[in-house]
Amino acid sequence: MDLDFFKNTPEDDAKINEVFAGLRLHYEKHKDPWGFNIDLCEKTLRKLVPIYRKYFKVRVFGQENVENIPYIVVSNHTGQLPIDGMLITIAFLLDIAPPRVLRAMIERFMAQLPFMGDMTAQLGSILGDRANCEYLIDHNESILVFPEGVRGISKNTPDYYKVRSFSQGFFRIALQKKTPILPLCVIGAEEMFPFVFHATKLARAIGLPSLPLTPLAFPLPSPIDIYIGKAYQMPDHLNPESPEKEIKEHIYHIENRVRRMIAVGMKKRRPFVDSVRVPLSKYIIKELRRKDD
């Protein structure tokens, strides 16, 4: 892999410039109470775009379903580490119009970690809390929620792509704020770490939300597809205090939409082996040529 791999194309650089010129206008209007740092976000994005484009080769489908309004974006959670969240956030900055910073909800565990809590807050994450979400929606921001929580990413290999039951909080917030829910699914993230065992008891004993054990030190370059579904409109007859039974019915519909999108996405999935083989063979050929020269 040569150093060019880590460079952005001129098109991507121009796109990032354009996106952040627009976003600065929004974020200069009000100071973010969690410490979102737009300069750090831009700097980090420039470093991550090559990984997004060349390593994970992310494709985005369903951009036409996104309008210029705040959404609660709801996704399946896969891949042991929240890399899927990072890739979705980049997609909403670069490949979806109008671009926006998706504010990802994180667990309390993450928010209280030294260094990590501050860094994730600077990059736009916030603690998953109803008041926080409502504040953001009031300020015209979109939120990224993984309603499966840690259960979503802490799956053993045989359970890959099985969608766990969704929590209800996001739906009640959507009802309160009359904000449409945008269902989304990520295909390919489970294969980043193909062999995983979850040491659940050990994780509990040392106070971690999950402890995936894998022989891999880095995620494999599994090709990622992000599918965005049609917005789920909020039913008029429900309110945030509606009984659990009525809310669950809608949660079930949203879960099923995500499951259906996963089923369709799995059929169109790019072969994982090619993804690993092609860059490796390119690298070997290049190295051989270099030696010949």
Partner 1 sequence: MTEEKKKILIIGIGGGLAQILSRLILNEHPTWEILGIDSRSISRVPKINGLNATSMKYSRGNFENLFRAHEFDAVYHLGRLSHSSGDQEQLSKRIELSVMGTNRILELCHRSGVKKVVILSTFHIYGAMADNSIFLTEDAPLRASMKHPELRDVVEMDQICTNWMWRHQNEISTVVLRPCNIIGPQIQNSMTKFLLSPLALRPIDYNPYFQFIHEFDMATILYRSLDKVPTGVFNIAGNDFLSLRESLDLIGTKGIPFPIFLADGLNGILKKIKMDVPEYLLDYLKFSCLIDNKEIKTHLGENFLRFSIKEALELIKLR
Query: Is residue 118 at the binding interface for partner 1, with CB under 8 A as the rule?
Result: yes
39 binds partner 1 (CB under 8 A): no
114 binds partner 1 (CB under 8 A): yes
131 scored as a contact of partner 1 (CB under 8 A): yes
Answer whether 225's CB lies under 8 Å from 59's CB.
yes
Question: Which tokens is 91 given?
Answer: 């997609």
Query: Which position among 15, 26, 34, 272 is part of the footprint of partner 1 (CB under 8 A)?
Result: 34
Selected range binding partner 1 among 58-66, 106-114, 228-236, 264-272, rule: CB under 8 A: 106-114
Binding residue (CB under 8 A) for partner 1 from 3, 10, 29, 31: 31
Q: How far is the CB of 134 from partner 1 (least distance, A)?
A: 9
Which window, 109-117, 180-188, 246-254, 259-267, contacts partner 1 (CB under 8 A)? 109-117
User: Considering beta carbons, is residue 127 or 231 the nearer one to partner 1?
Assistant: 127
Q: Which of 43, 47, 130, 253 binds partner 1 (CB under 8 A)?
A: 130
Residue with tokens 């737009």: 38
* Long-range CB pairs of 62-66, under 8 A, 24+ apart, other chains included: 62/227, 62/228, 62/229, 62/230, 63/95, 63/96, 63/97, 63/228, 65/182, 65/228, 65/229, 65/230, 65/231, 66/92, 66/96, 66/97, 66/182, 66/228
Q: Does the protein bind partner 1 through residue 230 (CB under 8 A)? A: no
Q: Which residue's CB is nearer to partner 1, number 115 or number 218?
A: 115
Give the residue among 86, 84, 62 at the shortest CA–CA distance from 187.
84
Tell me: does residue 108 bind partner 1 (CB under 8 A).
Answer: yes
SS3 45: helix
Q: Is the CB of residue 111 less than 8 Å from the CB of residue 117?
A: yes
Minimum distance from CB of 131 to partner 1 (Å)? 4
35 binds partner 1 (CB under 8 A): yes
How many helices and strands (H and E) does the chain possess?
11, 9
Q: Among candidates 56, 49, 48, which has minimal Cα distance to 11? A: 49
What's the closest the beta carbon of residue 222 comes to partner 1, in angstroms? 32
Residue at 111: amino acid letter: A
The smaller minimum CB distance to partner 1, of residues 138 and 249, is found at 138
Radius of gyration in angstroms for the set of CA atoms belonging to the chain, rounded to a whole number: 20
Assess 246 for contact with partner 1 (CB under 8 A). no
**C-alpha–C-alpha distance, residues 101 and 126, integer Å:** 12
> Which residues of this chain interact with partner 1, rule CB under 8 A?
31, 33-35, 108, 111-112, 114-115, 117-118, 126-127, 129-132, 135
